[in-house]
Chain A
Amino acid sequence: GESVGLHLPTLSVQEGDNSIINCAYSNSASDYFIWYKQESGKGPQFIIDIRSNMDKRQGQRVTVLLNKTVKHLSLQIAATQPGDSAVYFCAETYAGGTSYGKLTFGQGTILTVHP
C-alpha cells in the first residue's frame, strides 16, 4: 500500500470518534503555524492556522492548540469521517522578512478513519 516504507506516525480511528494529531515544532522564532491535509495524489490543502499570540483556534470540526512553552501543536478533529483520511502535516514559519513563505513542515501523520 501507499504507506509501506514511509514509517510515518499513524492514527487509526473509528468514524465518529474524535482525533488528535500532534506535532512538535523546532524553531522558537516561528510565529505562525498551519495544519495541512494531503489526500492521496493531491497537494497539501490548508485546514487551519494559528498565530503565536494565541493558544487555541477553532474552525469547523477542527481545533488547533498551540503550546509555545514546549513547542507543541495539535490538531483536533471532531466526529471524524472517512473523508478525513489523509496525511496531516503541521508547518511553521516566521511571518516576516525574507523568510516569509518558507514553511518548515513536520513529518506528517497518516490518519485512517474506519467506517
Chain B
Amino acid sequence: DTAVSQTPKYLVTQMGNDKSIKCEQNLGHDTMYWYKQDSKKFLKIMFSYNNKELIINETVPNRFSPKSPDKAHLNLHINSLELGDSAVYFCASSQVGGRDRNTIYFGEGSWLTVV
C-alpha cells in the first residue's frame, strides 16, 4: 500500500540507451513531480504535472520526456542516456487545495547508473 511507488528501484544501463522510470501514486493527488538528486545529494525539480497537464519544466534536456497517462501516473522516459544522467530520480505527488495541500510526498527513488 505504498503511497508513491516507482520502478525500477535500480537501473544500470549503457550510454546511448533509452530507458523509462514509472511512477504511480494511490493518494488521489492531482499533481505529480519528478525530482533529481545528484551525487552531492542536491535535490532539484525537473517536471510537475497537474491533472495530466505539464506545469513546470525546469530547463531539462529534451532527452527527458515525462508522460502522464492519467493523474495517478507520471512516467519519465530518457533517450540517449549520458554518463551525467546518473543520479537518483524521485517521483512525488501532492494535492492542490484541501487540508493536506502543499505537502509533497516522495517515492523511494530510482537509482540510475549510466556506464
Contacts and interface: CB of A to CB of B under 8 A. Distances in A.
A44 B33 contact: no
Interface residues of A, number: 28
Interface size class of B (residues with CB under 8 A): 20 to 34
A47 to B, nearest CB: 11
Which of B41, B58, B106 has the most chain A CB atoms inside 10 A of its CB?
B41
Contact of A44 (B31, B58, B106): B106
Contacts of B103: 34, 46, 49
Interface stretch (B11-19, B43-51, B61-69, B71-79): B43-51
Contacts, number: 69
Given A100-B96, A103-B104, 18 more contacts: A6-B40, A34-B103, A41-B109, A43-B4, A43-B106, A43-B109, A46-B105, A87-B41, A98-B56, A99-B56, A100-B55, A101-B48, A102-B56, A103-B35, A105-B43, A105-B44, A107-B40, A107-B41
Interface of A: 5-8, 32, 34, 36, 38, 41-46, 49, 87, 89, 93, 95, 98-103, 105, 107-108
